[in-house]
Structure 1
Amino acid sequence: MRTYYFDHAATTPMHPSVAQTMLELMQGPGGNSSSMHAFGRAAKQQLNRSRDRIAAALGCKPAELLFTSGGTESDNAALIGAARAQRKRGKTHIITSAGEHHAVLHTCEWLSKEEGFTLTMLPIDSTGTTAPEHIEAAITPETALVSIMHGNNEVGTLQPIEAIGQITKRNGVLFHVDAVQTLGWMDYRLNELPVDLMSFSAHKINGPQGVGALYVANGTPFEAIQHGGLQERKRRAGTENVAGITGFAAAVDICVNEREKKQLFMDKLRKRWIELLHSNVEVPIMINGNEQHHLPHIVNVSFIGVDTETMLMNLDMDGIAAASGSACTSGALERSHVLRAMHLPEEQIQSAVRFSFGLGNTLEELEEAAHKVGTIVRRIRNNY
């Protein structure tokens, strides 16, 4: 049976050049980058070169990047590290939105419950957008930090981070951005953006899983949350994953070189997929998210009258990998908190499926898969 991987927003296949780069390094003599001998110095050189390459691509200083185990750790480190540092300055208020990834939401809730911070959870509109004016209205003299993602992982909506950042700068508030979904799609010049902290992950850009980075702008109040070593300028203890970081840098290089071409092609795939669904599916479909400001590779579709869990199971049986964009808890599908925060009709929430495209996807396979989706919907409807 032919399979179709349409879940690149969850994780991406590793690019062959990235895998080869990592394999060559892993088959070498090894070495701890903190060791003083020749093997350690060689590992340190690899680490420094990788940091330099990623920093150049992001438009920041190498010293402003610290490496982590992925996007979740980067979000946790940014929020907890900045919040604790700001508390020493008398600032104990955090602002975020109801549409954030759980790595941000749950961390903010933990800071509120366990560390005494006041939390303001702002609404998002029906397109998944956070209004800058809501952020400005929520800021108080005690506000320590605002955290808003750049691109939503479920519906692909892009947030106006420049406008939000200008507000935070004007008010002397730190601004964290979860950019896990947008790395590889945006031309970041971090030294020109009004952002203090930004989180990244390698496995969303055809790099390895288990590697991420956190940008901490020079002068940003920040406390390490991991202890036991002096690595990453005392900001993140633990032996660095040199092979993974080298793979991360290789993936970033590919992103920089292929961004424009890839973006145009993903836009084409996304538009064609929507056209194909309209022509192949015999139930009303709704596209969830912002029609104008969205990532080129994510499309969230509600198949009205067709239950999400039933749809995903049938897609999987026919070799199509897609997602609900939400967590699976105790074997039961948890409906999307993002779609609920968008206050969509219940029939849209209960029938939403996220498709996301990337390396290896073609127009030809979309044609085939759309025909299968049409057949699946008819089969489900006829069984009711």
Structure 2
Amino acid sequence: MDAVVAYLDVAATTRVDQRVADVVLQWMTEDFGNAGSRTHEFGARAKKGVQEARAFLASTVGAKPEEVIFTSGATESNNIALLGLAPHGEKTGRKHIITSAIEHKAVLEPLQHLQETRGFEVDFLEPGPSGRISKDAVLEKLRPDTLLVSLMHVNNETGVIQPVAELGEELRGTPTYFHVDAAQGYGKVPQDLQAPIDLISISGHKVGAPKGVGALVTRRRGWDKAPLTPLMFGGGQERKLRPGTLPVALIMGLYEAAEIFRTNRERWEQDARQMRERMLAALGKTRFHVNGDAQHSVPHILNVTFDGLNAEALIVRLKEQVAIATGSACTSASYTPSHVLTAMDLPTEVASNGLRFSWFPDQVADFDPQGIAETIARMQPDVVPGK
């Protein structure tokens, strides 16, 4: 019988909950109507379902239903927010943007595009060894021509929570818009996203929903909408910001997954923290360093470097025990040092060999980290297993 491999890579993607899969199947095979069809009951049911999903997603971040735009995921949401706001910056002469050097590539690359092809000036702030950008560092960079601040909620490699709630409060009184990539933080640190953040990107497959669905929250300032220009045209759906036939089944899957996660979040957090403690206790028999500020981290992501060990070799050695990664799934094919750990000013040896463990506790309830700790300890010649 094959050994069971524990899945510790939920920061890359999560397993779809069976209840979510059942809902998706229902909306694909039974209630399969087009939400844009106005002449029959199939379309009416689909439209009503989408309306309910939109209202629920809005409630989870303290927004209004009409402020939620369904997308294919956080990458598309990021592009709509960043590239969609650019024409307003060009029109008003505000072409300065503040972000961090530890953002996901889905933020860094659109901003680099604006910088290289459209004359925008972008400040990429570095966090230092804590992995956390300070609120003051952002505010010190504000200028009269600052169009946007874009800062992720939770770092996808280290799990460090960024001060987005505090920044939302500070920036609300300025003309600068605030975008938050909440792909990793949505559902896990819900209170932060209640802050007055103008644009929030959400990804479904980080909370047990199918891949291919997410949302962009476009919160109004009073009566004023965020001045976004669409990137695509044809159909007028989603307030003309994201045209195309709505993927009703995926939207309903996101709705179900988000509702399940909100219902179980407190227990999830408690169990995830206990799992973290078990991991750290087991790894105590090895020589390792936690990368990132443990006091400001989500409980289910742990980034560590093991002294004297190559991360890629370690992944291969552990592949029969656990599924883990070196960092972002979008860049895992590249064996260069992590841009996140590098921006934290960690030594090259550390930045090149960070390993990310990430878990949903109910999916690894039977996992004993002692096994991998013993394997790692045996690979460190000056560490005696069991000591």
Q: TM-score range by the shorter chain?
A: over 0.9
Describe the SS at the equivalent of 2:76: helix
TM-score w.r.t. structure 2 length?
0.92
In structure 2, distance between residues paired with 1:363 and 1:25: 31
What do residues 199-233 of structure 1 show as CA deviations (whole Å, max 9, x unaligned)?
Answer: 00110001110000000012222111121111001
Relative to 1, partners in 2 of residues 1:207 and 1:170: Cα closer, same or farther, differing over 3 Å?
Answer: same
The answer to whether residue 258 in structure 2 is matched with residue 252 in structure 1 is yes
Q: In the alignment, residue 37 of structure 2 is paired with which amino acid?
A: S
- Which residue in the other structure is 1:273 paired with? 279
d(CA) in 2 for partners of 1:120, 1:37:
51
Partners of 1:267 and 1:376 lie apart in 2 by 22
- SS class of match (2:297): coil
Equivalent residue letter for 1:238: G
Change (3 A) 1:380 1:189: closer
Contact 1:83 1:145 in 2 (8 A): no
1:124-273 matches, within 5 Å, as 124-188=127-191, 192-218=194-220, 219-273=225-279
Decide which of 7, 13, 23 is 1:21's aligned counterpart. 23
Tell me which residue corresponds to 1:342.
Answer: 344
1:301–1:239: structure 2 CA closer, same or farther, 3 Å change rule?
Answer: same
Which one of 321, 324, 335 corresponds to residue 333 of structure 1?
335
Q: 1:306 to 1:171 in 2, by over 3 A?
A: same
Aligned length: 375
Which residue identity lines up with residue 296 of structure 1 in the other structure?
A: P
Question: Which secondary structure does the structure 2 equivalent of 1:170 belong to?
Answer: coil
Equivalent position SS for 1:360: helix
User: CA shift at 1:285, angstroms?
Assistant: 0.3
Runs of 4+ in 1 over 3 A off after TM superposition: 326-332, 359-364, 379-382
Does the Cα contact within 8 Å between 1:46 and 1:246 map onto a contact in 2? yes
For structure 1, which runs of at least 5 residues remain unmatched after alignment? none
Moved more, 78-87 or 92-101: 78-87
Confirm whether residue 83 of structure 1 aligns to residue 83 of structure 2. no
Deviation at 1:58, TM superposition (A): 2.3
Deviations 1:281-308 (A, max 9, x none): 3xx1001111211011000011110011
> 110, 114, 122: which one pairs with 1:111?
114
- Identify if the C-alpha distance between structure 1 residues 216 and 276 changes in structure 2 by more than 3 Å, giving closer, same or farther: same
SS of the equivalent of 1:215 reads strand
In structure 1, distance between residues paired with 2:208 and 2:50? 19
Judge conservation of contact 1:81–1:224 (CA < 8 Å) in 2.
Answer: yes
- Structure 2 letter corresponding to 1:374: E
Matching residue of 2:306: 303
| RMSD between superposed Cα atoms in Å | 1.9
TM-score by length of 1: 0.93
Post-superposition offset of 1:189: 7.3
Using the alignment, how far apart are the partners of 1:77 and 1:93 within structure 2? 18
Q: Residues 203 and 215 of structure 2 are in contact (CA less than 8 Å); yes or no, is this contact kept in structure 1?
A: yes
Contact 1:326–1:335 (8 Å) recurs in 2: no
Contact 1:184–1:205 at 8 Å: present in 2 too? Answer: yes
Q: 2: distance between equivalents of 1:329 and 1:209?
A: 18
How big is the shift at 1:57?
2.3
Structure 2 gaps of 5+ residues are: 383-387
Note if contact 2:271-2:361 (Cα within 8 Å) is conserved in structure 1: no
For the residues of structure 2 that align with 1:298 and 1:94, how far apart are their CA atoms?
Answer: 29
Cα pair distance change 1:307/1:328, threshold 3 Å: farther
Deviation at 1:186, TM superposition (A): 1.8
CA distance in 2 between partners of 1:201 and 1:330 (Å): 19
Tell me, in whole angstroms, the C-alpha distance in 2 between the residues paired with 1:242 and 1:331: 32
CA contact 1:199–1:214 (8 Å) conserved in 2: yes
